[in-house]
Structure 1
Amino acid sequence: MHDIGLKIALIGVMGMGAQWLAWRLRLPAIVLLLLAGVLAGPATGFVNPTEDFGTIYRPLVSLAVAIILFEGGLTLNFKEISETSTAVRRIIIIGGPMVWVMTALSAHYIGGLSWPTAVVLGAILVVTGPTVITPLLRQAQLAARPASLLKWEAIVNDPIGALFAVVAFEVVLVLIGQHQGGGLAYVVAAAFVVAVAGGYLAARAIHWAFVRGVVPEFLKAPILLATVLLAYALTNLVLEEAGLLTVTVMGIVLANTRIASLAEMRRFKETITVFLVSGIFILLTASLTVEDFLSLDWRAVLFVGSVLFVVRPVAIMTATVGSGATLAERTLSSWIAPRGVVAVAVSGLFGGALADAGIADANRMVSFTFAVVVTTIVLHGFTLGPLASLLNLKSADKPGLLIAGGPRWAIDLARKLRDMDVPVMIADPNWNHIAEARLSEIPVFYGDILSEEAHHSIDPKRFSTLIAVTDNDAYNSLVCTDFAPELGRSHVYQLGRGAEQSKRMSLNFTLGGRPLTEDGVDFRTLRERHWQGWTFQATKLSDEFDYDAYLKSRAGETIVLLWVKPSGKIVFAAGATGTPSVDDRVVSFTPARDRRAASSNETTSQEKA
């Protein structure tokens, strides 16, 4: 089959299929993408990117990398880095050059590469891959500090490593007599100034145009995308790949401005980035040949080992001395450094350019880079979670429940969940509600859950589910709509709206979350029942006391709200596709007259269990 349209479509399907399998199996997505690339390219020969796409292959990859880096910059808010800024600066300013030098030495003396190839390869492997680290952090549920450290280093280091590679490449060309050396320092300095200043000015121009209403809402995301590509291309006219720094600066500046539409644009960019990362990884892997794999001898294996076990740990441990990072954080950072799309793309670019310049072993740069990429993705992808647990750097062993609103019955629910060792937090701008929760030693956020401060103070990754329980139905819908993209629409719930509303008063079905209870109980009803003495009861099911027996022991008015699996997973009855099973703990809202019977049944079932 030679139809290019079909090949592109199948690459997209394979990429999304790999992403979905990774989500279902809880595996690093990049591992499956690499397997898909090997299957599409070297294993079957179905895709040959160089032949299929011709001269536009490299430019397309470069533009895709630019978009990926810009989207990464959009996630970097300066408030997030406040506690780790010193460590991040030292890793980039001190650790980066150390990795460059030590990797080059290792590539030459251990890997057997020539000096020109080794120096350029050392610069390329400074990068640590935001396209890889971001999904790994999402799965590992790290605490805020170590997660911030790894994310900032990955995103900022990518353009820096690319610039290092540019400088190394230009120096090599000067040394072999293909370029004049007089203006090299000037060109590099000019490119750095143009990249930083250009990225900042482009971001400020976008901010001005969007805030002043110069751009209509439906054109904001497309215009932003076009501006990113243009800024990247213009900077590259000064120095090859300097545009990567431009788009990263653009993303960081925009992430720290107050643009109302930024959240929607970020989600749009995130969607594009997932698709681009998937496609680019498959294409780059498919571009490898059997000869590339055969060129990896025992010296290549030793080189990869030196990068992982010597170069990275020595550089990070040295750079972070006195940085304020704990020993556990430094240990984690010294091990976790997966390489990704940028490393592979840049190595392909400069490997081909050095080969054209007459460097005999330049093509081995790509296979060496892929060896490091594959090894770090597999090892770091599967060890990040266990190592973080061993170093006690996880935010929580199991995600919990975030409650927006603090009525008394919700505080009682939070107490019950806390007693069951389920992580829970209440967010409310009413100090009286927060004070009562604090007296019960329940974690709280005093303020509006939709505020910018809440965005930086509350880590959604700590919570698997949100319930909005204020007395304002429209506000509950707004909270659920805002958190749905982060937690998933099947994990946000809100109180029922009471009596059936007219079509003029009801909200669009795309807004809000699922009903908190199966019969749509509203705020007023829950408050009145709580005043009447209703309480929350937790009962553990067993073989002798299963769910059917549990329901028979309760009055018909009892509201089964949720159950907690032995793994800590929270399942709300209103959104469940099944029923509780043995060892699940069922939480119900029970009438006062059932309180004594419910307590007795719970004690009996637990004794039997």
Structure 2
Amino acid sequence: MEGSFTITLQIVIAVFAGITAQVLGETLKIPGIVFLLLIGVALGADGLGILYPDKLGMGLEVIVALLVAIILFEGGLNLELRDLGRVSSSLRNLVTIGTGITLFGGSMAAHWLGEFPWQLAFLYASLVVVTGPTVISPLLKQVAVDRQVATILEGEGVLIDPVGAILAVVVLDTILNSEAGVMEVLNGLLLRGGIGIIIGLVGGAIMGLLLKKPLNFLSEDLKNLVVLAGVWGLFGVSQMIRSESGLMAVVLAGVVVRSLSVPEERMLRRFKGQLTMLGVSVLFILLAADLSIASVFALGWGSVLTVLCLMFLVRPLSVFVCTIGSRLNWRQKLFISWVGPKGIVSASVASLFAILLTQRGITGGDSLKAIVFLTIMMTVVIQGLTARWVARGLKLTSEGTTGAVIIGCNALGCLLGELFQQEGESVVMIDTDPEACEGAEAVNLNVIQSSGLDESVLEEAGIESLGTFLAMTNNGEVNLVLAQRALEEFQPPRVFAAFPKNSKARTPANKTKVNQAFMSEIPIKVWNEYVDEGKIKLGHTVLREEGFSFQQAHLQALIRSGELLPLLIKRQDSLQVVKADQEWQPGEEIFYILHDPRPKLLKRLSGGETASRLAIERLAEVEEVSLATPESN
């Protein structure tokens, strides 16, 4: 009874510590694995002596295996085949050629710099060919680099994990059975990979097809648990046929389920994402607590140099070789070279290998585990904490991406498009109305006549490389649907939809990252009529530090009266659509239109300009209009 209580207490401590580390990471915007490692070591035998994973016995190996299976299935579930297709050559090369470069480069560094025997040097290199998806995914959410780079890093992290695990097992088999020939080694590698691929494809297809059927007798929660049982079932069957083939099986199963577009996919991904976070938290705490700090220090400076060589020589060489002929620019390649943190698969497999080597009487198991954890700590801390700065320095953050895709070639939409172009940003207009499209083309805007709901059209418009998506047809509900669809499929940095202030559509918008565009008290349709009839003045102003409160109050009064509509705001050389809840700051430049109710005839008799000249021809000479009433202008 006492033994079971001790084991229970160890698991409870691990779960509590793991969730605490994740909360700290999210609060401080630092990769959670940093705190997982620190807290795990602090609770272990070399720290406070509270957590002793060795008391779990064989249970630790079972926990590691089952949780890694969930982590890799969730990784496969998050892979989008359409995105992978765009970077397929680079990704394929990183998983194949890159693995070879890392294997040989890492083993030479470990042997010559770390003074490891060749056998352990190759085993170490096989363990660190992988990058950690559980580290990279949270890191990319915080850094928010452009989608092409993110797809490569996420795809590599997920796909290379099973490849690396299988490779590591083959190398271990070779060490334990030194009489094995080259063909036996290759056969073992191909056999494990082939079994995993077949079981993963078949099992994933069966799961996906079952989920696509209307299983009304099962609740949504129960369906998630059925999938969990299916994942562990596939993993177990594959492992039973051939050890270490189960990792490949669960990754492929996740990819297949995602590709079949099952109705419950979003809920399934959310459930598996929560399980993955729990699994990573518990695993890292347990494995870090089991680490001997003395063994890490015993490695010496040679092992530190080995890891630095792996980070700053082997990884960049691998990336630049594998991306030859790709469309990636040097900045993207440099960032991919910088981000290669190791994660849970390296840690868990290294821990298991250390046990196996010790059981077979082969020395060096503790040193192998120590250098793998040293690699994890150095890559996560150095790369994880600096990735945001590196991305900003290379100008790869999606927040800084310029340009816009605008749905709606109405008068106001065209005016916004011209303002973006005037500021040197790329703009693509999309509309189904041929006449509206012709009007936009007449003012030299790039136009696609089609539906904004069509993914291929948005791809053609270059939504993945542009910073803003704005849906501003005359129908607010349609705008919200368009914006939510674009957000789900492409995750642009800034997503806006124009809909009335008191619209019922506002509630769901608050639950997503869709922003309500414009601070308007009257419908956008009315402003379109004002622009068409020439009843507007186009202007811009800079909010000064001196008198800012008065300017802000006057601006809000004009907006509430329906006389002024702020369109764009420029801050730190970044042009953005004004949000409904926009907060003004001194130094910002605001582009807006001011309602001018004078009839066209009166304007012409008084020497005023027509709407087309005001709104189109003179955009290069935008008149500064003070934030006063229309009469004073």
Say whether the fold is shared (TM-score over 0.5): yes
Instruction: Identify the residue that residue 207 of structure 1 maps to in structure 2.
Output: 208
Q: How does 1:60-79 map to 2 (within 5 A)?
A: 60-79=63-82
Instruction: Identify the residue that residue 607 of structure 1 maps to in structure 2.
Output: none
TM-score when scaled to structure 2?
0.79
Helix, strand or coil: the match of 1:574? Answer: coil
Q: Is the 8 A contact 1:174 1:180 kept in 2?
A: no
Instruction: Identify the residue that residue 196 of structure 2 maps to in structure 1.
Output: 195
Instruction: Identify the residue that residue 296 of structure 1 maps to in structure 2.
Output: 299
Q: Does 1:134 align with 2:140?
A: no
Partner Cα separation in structure 1 for residue 494 and residue 69 of structure 2: 33
Aligned identity (percent) is: 23
1:505-525 Cα deviation digits (max 9, x unpaired): 998787785654556543433
Q: 1:360 to 1:199 in 2, by over 3 A?
A: same
Q: Give the C-alpha shift of residue 601 in structure 1.
A: 4.3
Instruction: Identify the residue that residue 166 of structure 1 maps to in structure 2.
Output: 169
Q: Does 1:358 align with 2:361?
A: yes
Query: Which consecutive unaligned segments of at least 5 residues does structure 2 have?
Result: 599-607, 610-621, 629-633
Q: Which of 104, 107, 111 is the matching residue for 1:104?
A: 107
Partner Cα separation in structure 2 for residue 211 and residue 254 of structure 1: 10
Q: Give the C-alpha shift of residue 338 in structure 1.
A: 1.9
Instruction: Identify the residue that residue 16 of structure 1 maps to in structure 2.
Output: 22
Q: Give the C-alpha shift of residue 288 in structure 1.
A: 2.1
Q: 1:495 to 1:146 in 2, by over 3 A?
A: closer
Q: Is the 8 A contact 1:141 1:394 kept in 2?
A: yes
Q: 1:588 to 1:601 in 2, by over 3 A?
A: closer
Q: Give the C-alpha shift of residue 255 in structure 1.
A: 3.3
Query: Which consecutive unaligned segments of at least 5 residues does structure 1 have?
Result: 605-609
Partner Cα separation in structure 2 for residue 590 and residue 241 of structure 1: 68
Q: Does 1:281 align with 2:287?
A: no
Q: Give the C-alpha shift of residue 95 in structure 1.
A: 2.5
Instruction: Identify the residue that residue 544 of structure 2 maps to in structure 1.
Output: 542
Q: 1:528 to 1:199 in 2, by over 3 A?
A: same
| Paired residue type of 1:21 | T
Q: 1:424 to 1:546 in 2, by over 3 A?
A: farther
Q: Is the 8 A contact 1:329 1:393 kept in 2?
A: yes
Q: Give the C-alpha shift of residue 245 in structure 1.
A: 0.9
Q: Which of 215, 235, 244 is the matching residue for 1:232?
A: 235
Select between 53-62 and 446-455 the one with higher mean Cα deviation.
446-455
Helix, strand or coil: the match of 2:400? Answer: coil
Partner Cα separation in structure 2 for residue 593 and residue 42 of structure 1: 78
Q: Give the C-alpha shift of residue 165 in structure 1.
A: 0.4
Q: Give the C-alpha shift of residue 180 in structure 1.
A: 12
Q: 1:183 to 1:103 in 2, by over 3 A?
A: closer
Partner Cα separation in structure 1 for residue 43 and residue 426 of structure 2: 44
Q: Give the C-alpha shift of residue 544 in structure 1.
A: 3.2
Helix, strand or coil: the match of 1:79? Answer: helix
1:500-558 Cα deviation digits (max 9, x unpaired): 78xxx998787785654556543433333333423554321112352523543774332
Q: Does 1:591 align with 2:595?
A: yes
Q: 1:52 to 1:481 in 2, by over 3 A?
A: farther
Q: How does 1:446-465 map to 2 (within 5 A)?
A: 447-453=450-456
| Paired residue type of 1:157 | I
Helix, strand or coil: the match of 1:583? Answer: coil
| Paired residue type of 1:581 | Q
Q: Is the 8 A contact 1:28 1:381 kept in 2?
A: yes
| Paired residue type of 2:129 | V
Partner Cα separation in structure 1 for residue 183 and residue 506 of structure 2: 71
Q: Which of 479, 493, 509 is the matching residue for 1:476?
A: 479
Select between 466-475 and 347-356 the one with higher mean Cα deviation.
466-475
Q: Give the C-alpha shift of residue 369 in structure 1.
A: 1.0
Q: Does 1:118 align with 2:121?
A: yes
Q: Which of 362, 372, 375 is the matching residue for 1:372?
A: 375
Select between 203-212 and 317-326 the one with higher mean Cα deviation.
317-326
Q: Does 1:580 align with 2:580?
A: no
Q: 1:326 to 1:564 in 2, by over 3 A?
A: closer
Q: 1:328 to 1:417 in 2, by over 3 A?
A: closer
Q: Does 1:149 align with 2:152?
A: yes
Q: Give the C-alpha shift of residue 201 in structure 1.
A: 0.8
Q: Which of 398, 412, 415 is the matching residue for 1:412?
A: 415
Q: Does 1:558 align with 2:564?
A: yes
Q: CA RMSD in A?
A: 4.2
Q: 1:542 to 1:56 in 2, by over 3 A?
A: same
Q: 1:204 to 1:148 in 2, by over 3 A?
A: same
1:470-513 Cα deviation digits (max 9, x unpaired): 33343334345546679999976544458878xxx998787785
Q: How does 1:485-504 map to 2 (within 5 A)?
A: 494-497=497-500
Helix, strand or coil: the match of 2:541? Answer: strand
Partner Cα separation in structure 2 for residue 346 and residue 484 of structure 1: 37
Q: Is the 8 A contact 2:407 2:430 kept in 1?
A: yes
Partner Cα separation in structure 2 for residue 67 and residue 519 of structure 1: 48
| Paired residue type of 1:531 | D
Q: Is the 8 A contact 2:15 2:278 kept in 1?
A: no
Partner Cα separation in structure 1 for residue 119 and residue 305 of structure 2: 20
Q: Give the C-alpha shift of residue 195 in structure 1.
A: 0.5
Partner Cα separation in structure 2 for residue 487 and residue 182 of structure 1: 45
Q: Give the C-alpha shift of residue 170 in structure 1.
A: 1.3
Q: Is the 8 A contact 1:481 1:511 kept in 2?
A: no
Q: 1:453 to 1:69 in 2, by over 3 A?
A: farther
Partner Cα separation in structure 2 for residue 284 and residue 80 of structure 1: 34
| Matched length | 594
Partner Cα separation in structure 1 for residue 307 and residue 296 of structure 2: 14
Instruction: Identify the residue that residue 311 of structure 1 maps to in structure 2.
Output: 314
Partner Cα separation in structure 2 for residue 393 and residue 489 of structure 1: 14
Q: Is the 8 A contact 2:358 2:365 kept in 1?
A: yes
Q: Is the 8 A contact 1:198 1:246 kept in 2?
A: yes
Q: Which of 80, 84, 88 is the matching residue for 2:87?
A: 84
Larger radius of gyration between Structure 1 and Structure 2: 2
Q: 1:447 to 1:274 in 2, by over 3 A?
A: farther
Partner Cα separation in structure 2 for residue 511 and residue 588 of structure 1: 28
TM-score when scaled to structure 1?
0.82
Helix, strand or coil: the match of 1:524? Answer: helix
Q: Is the 8 A contact 2:105 2:314 kept in 1?
A: yes
Q: Is the 8 A contact 2:471 2:483 kept in 1?
A: yes
Q: Give the C-alpha shift of residue 67 in structure 1.
A: 2.2
1:208-245 Cα deviation digits (max 9, x unpaired): 22334357572543333332222122211233322111
Instruction: Identify the residue that residue 336 of structure 1 maps to in structure 2.
Output: 339
Helix, strand or coil: the match of 2:96? Answer: helix
Select between 401-410 and 423-432 the one with higher mean Cα deviation.
423-432
Partner Cα separation in structure 2 for residue 127 and residue 66 of structure 1: 16
Partner Cα separation in structure 2 for residue 198 and residue 443 of structure 1: 48
1:82-118 Cα deviation digits (max 9, x unpaired): 4432333233322312321332233233212234322
Q: Does 1:56 align with 2:62?
A: no
Partner Cα separation in structure 2 for residue 508 and residue 144 of structure 1: 25
| Paired residue type of 1:575 | D
Select between 3-12 and 458-467 the one with higher mean Cα deviation.
458-467
| Paired residue type of 2:208 | H
